[in-house]
């Protein structure tokens, strides 16, 4: 049974390592290896993750299975693009599982925890940007009620991509 808890400053190094591997595993088949390495080196250093964990605009959740970090999610107060029209939007900035934990229901548990955090923050809408070639992620979001509402720019590997933006109503407490 997974345990989901808030990240603390002491988790930054482990989270950075985990997040770098999860990102690389996710995009290995659909993006350039050097571009992945460059992105990871910039965005998943321990000091960067420590900053995210301590940022009051963010809530970082860690999912553990048998004492092992299995996944994480981050919600972030960030201005939503104009295509997100639902009330009080909150960004689902990142949600990743370790490769060995995909398909075991842990993503559903993390998504439930994300909705709980959104309710605690007073949000009515969750929104996110996703790379359209990441079909597994798109299908995951759609299973949880997210619908495509537009697009936004995303800089990766020196190129600007237009990532689809998805949004969903925050689910009421069960």
Query: pLDDT value at position 173?
Result: 87
CA angle 55, 17, 3 (to 5 degrees): 70
Residue 129 is given by DSSP the state E
Three-class DSSP category at 149: strand
Helix (H, G, I), strand (E, B) or coil at 32: coil
DSSP 3-state of 89:
strand
- pLDDT for 43 beyond 90: no
What proportions of the chain, in percent to the nearest 5, are helix, strand and coil? 40, 30, 30
Look at residue 49 and tell me whether its pLDDT is greater than 90. yes
Closest CA to 137 of 51, 30, 58, 41: 30
Q: How far apart are CA 116 and CA 67, in angstroms?
A: 23
pLDDT band at 63 (very low <50, low <70, confident <90, very high): very high
Q: Sketch out the chain's domains with CATH numbers.
A: 3-169 (3.40.630.30)
Averaged pLDDT, 111-125: 97
| Residue 118: both structure tokens together | 């959104």
The torsion defined by the Cα of 14, 19, 24 and 26, in degrees rounded to 10, comes to 130
Q: What is the pTM of this model?
A: 0.90
């Amino acid at each position: 049974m997974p345990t989901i808890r808030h990240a603390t400053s002491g988790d930054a190094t482990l989270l950075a390592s985990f997040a770098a591997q999860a990102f690389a595993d996710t995009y290995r088949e659909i993006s350039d290896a050097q571009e992945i390495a460059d992105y990871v080196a910039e965005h998943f250093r321990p000091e960067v993750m420590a900053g995210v964990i301590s940022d009051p605009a963010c809530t970082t959740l860690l999912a553990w299975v048998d004492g092992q970090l299995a996944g994480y999610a981050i919600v972030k107060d960030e201005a939503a693009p104009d295509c997100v029209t639902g009330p009080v939007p909150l960004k689902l900035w990142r949600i990743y599982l370790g490769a060995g934990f995909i398909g075991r229901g842990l993503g559903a548990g993390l998504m439930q925890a994300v909705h709980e955090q959104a309710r605690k923050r007073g949000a009515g809408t969750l929104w996110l940007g996703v790379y359209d070639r990441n079909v597994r992620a798109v299908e995951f979001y759609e299973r949880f009620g997210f619908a495509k509402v537009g697009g936004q720019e995303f800089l990766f590997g020196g190129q600007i991509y237009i990532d689809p933006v998805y949004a969903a109503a925050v689910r009421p407490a069960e």
